[in-house]
Structure formats: C-alpha cells, structure tokens
Amino acid sequence: MKKNVFSLNDEIRSIYINPNETLLEVLRDKLGVKSPKCGCDSGDCGACTVLIDGKSVRSCLILAIEVDGSTISTLEGISKDGLSPLQKAFHEHNVFQCGYCAPGMILSATELLKKNPHPSEHDIKEAIAGNLCRCTGYIPVIEAILDFTKKD
C-alpha cells in the first residue's frame, strides 16, 4: 500500500492504494465517485472517461498509483454548483436515453470546448469518437454541442 495524494474535483484527497488497483476501481469503490462507469474495461468505450490535468483519459487503463500529484475531475466536479451550461444544453436537447455514456460524453465535450470553443461538426465527431453510445445514434449529442457553441 502506498499513500497517494491528488486533487479530485477541487478537493485534496489522500488515500492508500495498491499498485494493482485501477483509477476507475478506486474512484468508484473507494471514493464513492460513481459517474465514471465500467463499460468495456479495456479502453474502447469511453464510459470510464475522467479528466486528468484537463485531458480526457480512460480511467480503466490507468493505475490509481500513477495519479499521485495530479488533478482529476469527474462529472461530479463539473456539476458541483448545479448543471453546467453544457449539461443544460444536453438536457434541453433531450440527448441521452439510458445515460450510461453520458459522463464520458460530457467530459470529452468539455475538454474539446476548452481547447476549441467553436468546433466544427467534424471536430465534435473526432472528440467524441471514443465515446460509444448504444442509444442515441450520436446525432442529438452532436446537435446539442453545436447548438451550445452557437449560443455564446
């Protein structure tokens, strides 16, 4: 066991972990942060997406021990003070159905909009390409993001 200290949704957390625990397991099972989901557990689906130092990554492919000293955000952090404007846009467009892909999708879009506030449809598709969704057919996701970027 090794002590890890990192910032999770703007709170400093310190926790003892084993090298063989993935970040996804630690977030969900030890820290009770349930927005990252386990879909494929092998890097293909994007359901476990979190932001590390602002970049979207697959928490199922990262060992928790690697994030010592990093800054992690999940959907819980993004919606700390109520729904974020982007989430509201998703809401208005009635984007999701089961919602399993939603946290990952929203975090990927958050990363994109930070780098590129006025993305083209192509940019959006590229950004969410790794977030698989079994329900929406992606069109509403793209529409919501496009619509959101036109508003501001």
Partner 1 sequence: MAIPYEFGYQKPATLQEAIALLAEHDKNARILAGGTDLVNELKQGFRVPEILIDIKGITELKNIQLVDDQLEIGALVTFSEILHSKILHDNAYILFEAAGLVASNGVRNRATMVGNICSAVACMDSASPLLVHDAVIHLISSQGERNVPIQKWFDDNRKTTIRPNELVTHVSIPIPKVKYAGAYQKMMRYSGEDLSQANVGVLLFADNTVHVAFGSVGPIPKRSPKIENLLKAKGLSADTIEEAKQMIEKVIAPITDVRASKEYRLHMCKVMFVRALNTAQARIKKPKLITKKLHYEKKCLQSE
Q: Which of residues 13-52 bind partner 1 (CB under 8 A)?
A: 18-22, 25, 41-44, 46, 49
**Is the separation of the CB atoms in 141 and 105 below 8 Å?**
yes
b (16+ CB within 10 A) / e for 67-82? beebbbbbbbbbbeee
With respect to partner 1, which residue has the nearer C-beta, 54 or 94?
Answer: 54
Question: One symbol per residue from 77 to 116: x for binding partner 1 (CB under 8 A), - otherwise; what is it?
Answer: ---------------------------x---x--x---xx
Question: One symbol per residue from 118 to 137: x for binding partner 1 (CB under 8 A), - otherwise; what is it?
Answer: --x-xx-xxx-xxx------
Q: Minimum CB separation from partner 1 for residue 152, in Å?
A: 18
Count CB atoms within 10 A of the CB of residue 152. Answer: 8
Which of ligand FES, partner 1, none does residue 98 bind (CB under 5 to 8 Å by kind)? ligand FES
Q: Minimum CB separation from partner 1 for residue 96, in Å?
A: 19
d(CA 85, CA 79): 9
Q: Minimum CB separation from partner 1 for residue 82, in Å?
A: 26
Alpha helical stretches, state H, the chain: 23-25, 75-78, 85-92, 102-115, 121-128, 139-151
d(CA 7, CA 12): 4
Q: Minimum CB separation from partner 1 for residue 132, in Å?
A: 8
Give the tokens for residue 107: 């975090």
With respect to ligand FES, which residue has the nearer C-beta, 98 or 129?
Answer: 98
With respect to partner 1, which residue has the nearer C-beta, 43 or 94?
Answer: 43
DSSP letter at 17 equals E
